[in-house]
């Protein structure tokens, strides 16, 4: 595109970064004044099952937008905020500024894709060009199909197909200099959006744990590849060891792209061949995120409807008291309670513990997986529209790649195996911290003297189990047998 006196607009979506941003690079090359725009579209109209952000992701978004604005100002630009229907806002802004074109990165999230298509049509009607760069996914969903033209429902062949396409394109370098802003365009006030909690302010733990924004994302990636990647393949299952990348919320908001993560990890393996196994396991986890996004592409109602229709008549129970005990980390099963309390404080939870806590809800308590998915959607800073429902359906047995469907995690054995010294439970369930490791995952087995020495009174300082493991397991298996027949 030749330089023009007419400005252009870059529409930032879930790609709140300045590096590896092809739409921003293309807009800069237009050589015109630039409007950097973010729209909080809360209209929830159109196709694709759009969802409001949960409370934790709202907090993250506010912090991420501030970080992006700061980065833009270092380059002579600033972020313009608008709230409302993108299909109306963008054409109006293009008219007001006389914009020649609008640039954005594509999204294969159905709700976002539908909104962008409608917006592009509205822009074309008034003679404004649109330039749409490929999405952040490693492979486009239409490129990964079976013989019938459907998306793959089992992860291993899916990931093999993605990898068989070769490495993704190398990420673009960070934009160092940008054209000037359009002075007449003013931004809405982020505080007016009320994304962050005030009374009460429950986000203290989130602020202690996270640094949203592109700089924070790259620090996380560098720290992970420098240290935590060593032993990741095995260590990632142990919640008391910090082998997690902590990149998921940064990926969720596009503060770092999957391409950047992929190539950085591959480079680490090339530089240090001993890390190859750990890197491949890590890349497969990036692949699982991709897998869930592909599932969402084919199933826009993934958070509402069972992928396996045989589960549509599953005999889920309704028990508000049990659900509340699970949400608050008061089930009487230490590893479950530790995970739920970690989630509330930090907005995240270790991967192995996510599976254990989810399994407990849907199999020990026989509560609908959608209840758990909704709670995680509200409390996770990395609540992803593909991964969150995809993972919950996997645990419940009604989703993709869910075999063996009848697997029921034993929370006691899971704690003893993966938190053998009890450090994770002691951190998040401090009322049990003085129990010895042999008892911390099953305090009901402690003698009265051992409980007294640890300052534990079951039923008072720490709850009795809300359900018996053996009885709950039998009840779940009976329910699943009915589903199978």
Q: Which residues pair with 40 in a beta bridge?
A: 83
Structure tokens at 182: 């359009």
Q: Can you give the CATH number for the domain in which 37 is found?
A: 3.40.50.620
d(CA 241, CA 260): 25
Q: Which of 134, 156, 54, 114 is nearest to 388 (CA)?
A: 54
d(CA 470, CA 203): 37
Are residues 273 and 325 both part of a single domain?
Answer: no
Active site residue 369: yes
Are residues 257 and 389 both part of a single domain?
Answer: no
307, 399 in Cβ contact below 8 A?
yes
d(CA 390, CA 398): 10
Are residues 150 and 294 both part of a single domain?
Answer: yes
Q: Can you give the CATH number for the domain in which 232 is found?
A: 1.25.40.80
Helices (H), 333-440: 334-346, 351-359, 369-379, 387-396, 411-418, 423-428, 437-440
Boundary (domain end) residue, out of 254, 278, 298: 298
Q: Which domain holds residue 378?
A: 309-483
Residue 202 forms part of a structural domain = no
Q: How many domains does the chain have?
A: 3
Active site residue 146: no
Active site residue 193: no
d(CA 383, CA 403): 24
Q: What is the pTM of this model?
A: 0.95
351, 416, 431, 450: which one is catalytic? 351
285, 416, 431, 450: which one is catalytic? 285
369, 375, 394, 428: which one is catalytic? 369
Secondary structure (H, E, C), 114-176: HHHHHHHHHHHHCCCEEEEECCCCCCCHHHCCCCCCCCCCCHHHHHHHHHHCCCCCCCCCCCC
59, 60, 104, 288: which one is catalytic? 288
Are residues 293 and 338 both part of a single domain?
Answer: no
Q: Walk across the sheet containing 34-40 and list its strands.
A: 79-83, 34-40, 8-12, 101-105, 129-133
Are residues 89 and 50 both part of a single domain?
Answer: yes
Q: Could you read off the pLDDT tens digit of each residue along the chain, which spans 485 residues?
A: 445 579 999 999 999 999 999 999 999 998 899 999 999 998 765 454 578 999 999 999 999 999 999 999 999 999 999 999 999 999 999 999 999 999 999 999 999 999 999 999 999 999 999 999 999 999 999 999 999 999 999 999 999 999 999 999 999 999 999 999 998 999 999 999 999 999 999 999 999 999 999 999 999 999 999 999 999 999 999 999 999 999 999 999 999 999 999 999 999 999 999 999 999 999 999 999 999 999 999 999 999 999 999 899 999 999 999 999 999 999 999 999 999 999 999 999 999 999 999 999 999 999 999 999 999 999 999 999 999 999 999 999 999 986 656 789 999 999 999 999 999 999 999 999 999 999 999 999 999 999 999 999 999 999 999 999 999 999 999 998 887 76
Are residues 31 and 58 both part of a single domain?
Answer: yes
Active site residue 11: no
Q: Which of 313, 298, 303, 462 is nearest to 393 (CA)?
A: 303
210, 392, 394, 428: which one is catalytic? 392
Active site residue 375: no
Q: Can you give the CATH number for the domain in which 440 is found?
A: 1.10.579.10
Torsion sign, CA atoms 193, 255, 202, 348: positive
388, 395 in Cβ contact below 8 A?
no
- Angle, helices 351-359/411-418, rounded to nearest 10 degrees: 170
Active site residue 60: no
316, 344, 416, 450: which one is catalytic? 316
Q: Which of 290, 285, 426 is nearest to 352 (CA)?
A: 285
Rg (CA), the chain: 24
Residue 452 forms part of a structural domain = yes
Are residues 390 and 261 both part of a single domain?
Answer: no
Structure tokens at 31: 């050589």
**Which position has the token pair 């709670």?**
375
């Amino acid at each position: 595109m030749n330089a023009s006196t007419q400005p252009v607009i870059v529409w930032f979506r879930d790609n709140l970064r300045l590096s590896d941003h092809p739409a921003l690079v293309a807009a800069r090359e237009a050589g015109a004044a630039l409007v950097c725009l973010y729209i909080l579209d809360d209209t929830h109209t159109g196709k694709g099952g759009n969802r409001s952000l949960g409370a934790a992701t709202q907090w993250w978004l506010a912090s991420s937008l501030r970080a992006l604005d700061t980065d833009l100002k270092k380059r002579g630009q600033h972020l313009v905020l608008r709230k409302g229907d993108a299909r109306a806002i963008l054409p109006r802004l293009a008219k007001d500024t006389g914009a020649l074109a609008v640039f954005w990165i594509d999204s294969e999230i159905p709700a976002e894709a539908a909104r962008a298509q409608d917006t592009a049509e509205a822009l074309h009607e008034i003679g404004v060009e649109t330039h749409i760069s490929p999405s952040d996914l490693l492979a486009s969903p239409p490129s990964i199909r079976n013989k019938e033209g459907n998306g793959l429902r089992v992860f291993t062949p899916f990931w093999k197909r993605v990898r068989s396409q070769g490495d993704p394109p190398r990420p673009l370098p960070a934009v160092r200099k940008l054209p000037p802003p359009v002075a007449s365009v003013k931004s809405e006030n982020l505080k007016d959006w009320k994304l962050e909690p005030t009374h009460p302010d429950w986000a203290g733990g989130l602020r202690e744990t996270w640094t949203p924004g592109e700089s924070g994302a790259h620090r996380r990636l560098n720290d992970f590849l420098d240290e935590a990647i060593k032993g990741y393949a095995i260590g990632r299952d142990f919640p008391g060891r910090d082998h997690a990348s902590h990149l998921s919320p940064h990926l969720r908001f596009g503060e770092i792209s999957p391409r950047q993560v992929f190539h950085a990890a591959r480079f680490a393996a090339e530089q240090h061949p001993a890390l190859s196994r750990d890197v491949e396991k890590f890349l497969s986890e990036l692949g699982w995120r991709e897998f869930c996004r592909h599932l969402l592409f084919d199933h826009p109602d993934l958070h509402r409807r069972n992928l396996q229709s045989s589960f549509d008549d599953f005999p889920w129970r309704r028990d508000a008291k049990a659900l509340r005990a699970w949400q608050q980390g008061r089930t009487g099963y230490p590893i479950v309670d530790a995970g739920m309390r970690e989630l509330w404080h930090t907005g995240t939870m270790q991967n192995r513990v996510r599976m254990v806590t989810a399994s407990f809800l849907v199999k020990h308590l026989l509560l609908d997986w959608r209840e758990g998915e909704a709670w995680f959607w509200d409390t996770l800073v990395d609540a992803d529209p593909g991964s969150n429902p995809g993972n919950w359906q996997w645990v419940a047995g009604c989703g993709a790649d869910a075999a063996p469907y009848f697997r029921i995690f034993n929370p006691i054995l899971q704690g003893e195996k993966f938190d053998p010294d009890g450090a994770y439970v002691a951190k998040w369930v401090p009322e049990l911290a003085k129990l010895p490791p042999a008892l911390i995952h099953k305090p009901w087995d402690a003698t009265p003297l051992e409980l007294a020495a640890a300052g534990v009174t079951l039923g008072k300082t720490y709850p009795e189990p809300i359900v018996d493991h053996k009885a709950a397991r039998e009840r779940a298996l009976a329910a699943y047998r009915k589903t199978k027949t």
